[in-house]
Structure 1
Amino acid sequence: MPIALLALTAGAFGIGTTEFVIMGLLLQVSADLQVSIAAAGLLISGYALGVAVGAPLLTIASRRLPRKTVLLGLMAIFTLGNIACAMAGSYELLMAARVVTSLAHGTFFGVGSVVATGLVPPERRASAIAVMFTGLTAATLLGVPAGAWLGLHFGWRSTFWAVALIGVAAFTVLALFVPRGGRADAAPAALRDELAVLARPQVLLGLAITVLGFAGVFAVFTFIQPLLTRVTGVSAAAVSPILLLFGGGLAVGNLLGGWLADRAPMPSLLGSLVALAAVLGAMQWLVHRPWTAVVFVLLLGIAAFATVAPLQLRVLDKAAGAGQNLASSLNIAAFNLGNALGAWAGGGVIERGPGLQALGWVAALLTLAGLAIALWSRALDRRLPAAAVTACA
């Protein structure tokens, strides 16, 4: 495994930690800055919005720079943003700092995915993407609990100082080990060529698959705490250990999805979406008993991240040539839009629908919509070669 790939993983770990760690700091932040918990929760929404908007804009703005230079610049923004979070004296300044930090997120994962695939042989591209995203799963499994512990014992600002130090370390290893030149550091195409990728129907379909396919995950996961405490009946103290299983499932599913996508890209994409829809649909019967709920959370983690590498590879393949940087970053934005869509749909089911127990059905329908688009995309793949053969004849 190239050490440069591990450097990308380190960067992904830092960015993943700063995205999710705020969930374990809401009470401290709301008390210190004298805002409601709901207002503190908007720090998560502000970050997600920054990712969705910043990914394409920052990718286009940095298109003339070598990819290694882009990655180093993004880690500098990330580090400075976390320092600003740690020093924020008001809620408004903290929100602004979170948005600035989020600008690095989508472009880092987008450009990083392109760099990762350039570090390995073509037959291992999906596995390379999965290895980089292991940093994100490690952030969920290790970084977020550690950040919450720091915030509890030393104040929420200490967590952001610690994440800033992770940013410094990631910047250093990226500078030392990511090669300059070659496939991993090729200069991006001209703006016209980058934007031309958005005219490709298969790229747009790939982005739609990501939004809808992954929306099902957050339709459930956003409300996992009330689901476990009110429907399953476990104690609030038991939620954190159960979520550790979810983080472990993410790591397993991420590597499994990359391994399968290297061998059969489209079948692995379709299979992972089918598996995810099946797990979400089974929630109805699995969440009523503690031990089956634990099994459900583990399976959800595995199925959720088994889709990531196939989804990212699909968009990269369809954007082959000019425009890979932009398409890859847009797909990261699509994941975040899927998160927002799933949370919105799940909230609607709870407030105006049948309630928590029906989340699984709605989530499964969202993922099945993504599967339907994937099947349509595969049909186009098969039709185009047939049309080419007819044209040649």
Structure 2
Amino acid sequence: MPLALYLLALAVFAMGTSEFMLAGLVPDIASDLDVSVGTAGALTSAYAIGMIVGAPLVAAFARNWPTRTSLLSFILAFAAAHAVGALTPDFPVLFATRVVAALANAGFLAVTLTTAATLVSPDRKGRALAVLLSGTTTATVAGVPGGAVFGTLFGWRATFWTVAALCLPAALGVLKGISAGLVQEHAADGPASHTELATDGPALRTELAQLARPRLILVMLLGALVNAATFAGFTFLAPVVTDAAGLGELWVPVALVLFGVGAFTGVTVAGRLSDRHPGPVIAVAGPLLLIGWPALALLAAEPVALLTLVFVQGALSFALGSTLITRVLYEAAGAPTMAGSYATTALNMGAAVGPLLAATTLGTAAGTLGPLWSSGLLIAAALLIALPLRTTISTGRGIEVPR
């Protein structure tokens, strides 16, 4: 894998840390800026909405920019938003910086998902995506718990400054690793080689028309459902650990780290299979996830079983999710500049909807275990949709990107 890909993953790590770190910082932000905890929690919603809306809009706006210009602009805008957020004493300004950061994150992901596919040969898109998503999974393993500890020791503003600083080596990597005015093009099975940026690519209307393709909509829907299930359970994991299992609060970061390690494992393994053998990944991970979420709810009172299943569910969720997002990139091959935004939108629709649905179960008889049951129902819905169309979504080798 090219070095530039790992530096892009570093930026994804910084952005993933920023997206999830507020879970541990909201009380301090509320106290410091003299707002309620509920009001401070709106920062999370602002970020999610910015990601969903921003992915297609920003990608369309920047589609004719050189790749390096786009990536560098998004990274620097993201870093600047965090610097302003770290300095401001006003909540409305902080709220605005979260929206700007989300737009920059969405634009960066949309472009970098497409760029990653051009940095490798066409049959290695899944592995390239796995490297990028390792930035997100590493954020759940180290970035989010580390951000919470750092914020506790030095204040929430220090965490914002740290995220901004992480963007600098990634920006340098874009400058050094992505040639100005160039894109990557390659033979079907050969190594990548630099060629001039095409000027006769498909029009935006043509790329948007790809969204009328049933196969593309199908894999986007399945990716969103799986990600919704993942974040429904993950978002409300803390009360499961402390209430259902009766463990102390110090076990919460342990559970989060186990989920993140599982996610990293799942992405890594699936990355080696999702290009040529997506069918087996979907056929194995899907049913196991369907069993795993209810099992986690039923065995939550047993700490060993709980922590083991947290790891397993993290691995299965990200293995299946990353495989489906890889299929989005393949199915959107006719939209070379917008494909990444379609994948980003699917991911973030799930990340936004899943926790909202899970939250509605907290006031039911299921209590803190409700989100785990809702994760199982979301996976069941995905499998019911996928089952009659399994040959459609499990095509072995990827589709060549038109030139």
TM-score by length of 2: 0.89
Following TM superposition, by how much is the alpha carbon of 1:330 offset from its aligned partner in structure 2, in angstroms?
2.3
Correspondence for 1:294: 307
Correspondence for 1:339: 351
Correspondence for 1:328: 340
Following TM superposition, by how much is the alpha carbon of 1:233 offset from its aligned partner in structure 2, in angstroms?
0.8
Post-superposition Cα deviations, 1:257-311, rounded to whole Å, max 9, x if no partner, equal 2112133023323433223222112113321111111111111211121123211
Residue 361 of structure 2 aligns to a residue whose secondary structure is helix
Correspondence for 1:260: 273
Q: Once structures 1 and 2 are overlaid, which stretch shifts more, 10-19 or 355-364? A: 355-364
> Contact 1:205–1:377 (CA<8 Å) still a contact in 2?
no
Correspondence for 2:184: 183
Structure 2: give runs of 5+ residues left out of the alignment.
Answer: 186-195, 396-403
Matched, 1:369 2:381: yes
Task: State the alpha-carbon separation in 2 of the partners of residues 269 and 328 from structure 1.
Answer: 21
> Contact 1:116–1:129 (CA<8 Å) still a contact in 2?
yes
Following TM superposition, by how much is the alpha carbon of 1:376 offset from its aligned partner in structure 2, in angstroms?
4.2
Correspondence for 2:245: 232
> Contact 2:25–2:148 (CA<8 Å) still a contact in 1?
yes
Task: State the alpha-carbon separation in 2 of the partners of residues 34 and 24 from structure 1.
Answer: 17
Matched, 1:355 2:367: yes
CA 1:199–1:14 in 2, change beyond 3 Å: closer, same or farther? Answer: same
Correspondence for 1:391: none
CA 1:263–1:231 in 2, change beyond 3 Å: closer, same or farther? Answer: same
> Contact 2:227–2:317 (CA<8 Å) still a contact in 1?
yes
Residue 256 of structure 1 aligns to a residue whose secondary structure is helix
Following TM superposition, by how much is the alpha carbon of 1:127 offset from its aligned partner in structure 2, in angstroms?
0.8
> Contact 2:226–2:317 (CA<8 Å) still a contact in 1?
no
> Contact 1:246–1:301 (CA<8 Å) still a contact in 2?
yes
Following TM superposition, by how much is the alpha carbon of 1:379 offset from its aligned partner in structure 2, in angstroms?
4.7
Following TM superposition, by how much is the alpha carbon of 1:358 offset from its aligned partner in structure 2, in angstroms?
3.9
The aligned runs of 1:374-389 (5 Å cut-off) are 374-380=386-392
Post-superposition Cα deviations, 1:358-380, rounded to whole Å, max 9, x if no partner, equal 43332111112122333344355
Residue 182 of structure 1 aligns to a residue whose secondary structure is strand
The aligned runs of 1:195-206 (5 Å cut-off) are 195-206=208-219
Q: Which stretches of structure 1, 4 residues or more, deviate above 6 A after TM superposition?
A: none
> Contact 1:312–1:328 (CA<8 Å) still a contact in 2?
no
Task: State the alpha-carbon separation in 1 of the partners of residues 216 and 230 from structure 2.
Answer: 22
Task: State the alpha-carbon separation in 2 of the partners of residues 351 and 33 from structure 1.
Answer: 30
Correspondence for 1:160: 160
Question: Which one-letter code corresponds to 1:259 in the other structure?
Answer: R
| Identical residues among aligned pairs (%) | 36
CA 1:190–1:37 in 2, change beyond 3 Å: closer, same or farther? Answer: same
Correspondence for 1:29: 29
> Contact 1:249–1:301 (CA<8 Å) still a contact in 2?
yes
Question: Which one-letter code corresponds to 1:163 in the other structure?
Answer: V
> Contact 2:220–2:346 (CA<8 Å) still a contact in 1?
yes
Residue 64 of structure 2 aligns to a residue whose secondary structure is coil
Task: State the alpha-carbon separation in 2 of the partners of residues 151 and 275 from structure 1.
Answer: 37
Correspondence for 1:43: 43
Question: Which one-letter code corresponds to 2:256 in the other structure?
Answer: L
Post-superposition Cα deviations, 1:102-128, rounded to whole Å, max 9, x if no partner, equal 002222222212111211222221011
> Contact 1:85–1:97 (CA<8 Å) still a contact in 2?
yes
Question: Which one-letter code corresponds to 1:182 in the other structure?
Answer: V
Residue 236 of structure 1 aligns to a residue whose secondary structure is coil
Task: State the alpha-carbon separation in 2 of the partners of residues 17 and 318 from structure 1.
Answer: 29
Following TM superposition, by how much is the alpha carbon of 1:357 offset from its aligned partner in structure 2, in angstroms?
2.9
Correspondence for 1:388: none
Correspondence for 2:19: 19
Q: Once structures 1 and 2 are overlaid, which stretch shifts more, 183-192 or 7-16? A: 183-192
Following TM superposition, by how much is the alpha carbon of 1:186 offset from its aligned partner in structure 2, in angstroms?
4.5
Matched, 1:245 2:258: yes
Following TM superposition, by how much is the alpha carbon of 1:29 offset from its aligned partner in structure 2, in angstroms?
0.5
> Contact 1:282–1:360 (CA<8 Å) still a contact in 2?
no
Task: State the alpha-carbon separation in 2 of the partners of residues 334 and 371 from structure 1.
Answer: 17
Following TM superposition, by how much is the alpha carbon of 1:68 offset from its aligned partner in structure 2, in angstroms?
2.3
Task: State the alpha-carbon separation in 2 of the partners of residues 377 and 110 from structure 1.
Answer: 27
Residue 324 of structure 1 aligns to a residue whose secondary structure is coil
Q: Once structures 1 and 2 are overlaid, which stretch shifts more, 347-356 or 241-250? A: 347-356
Q: Once structures 1 and 2 are overlaid, which stretch shifts more, 36-45 or 182-191? A: 182-191
Task: State the alpha-carbon separation in 2 of the partners of residues 378 and 12 from structure 1.
Answer: 31
Correspondence for 2:69: 69
TM-score by length of 1: 0.92
CA 1:382–1:156 in 2, change beyond 3 Å: closer, same or farther? Answer: closer
Following TM superposition, by how much is the alpha carbon of 1:208 offset from its aligned partner in structure 2, in angstroms?
0.8
Following TM superposition, by how much is the alpha carbon of 1:70 offset from its aligned partner in structure 2, in angstroms?
1.3
> Contact 2:9–2:132 (CA<8 Å) still a contact in 1?
yes
> Contact 2:140–2:260 (CA<8 Å) still a contact in 1?
yes
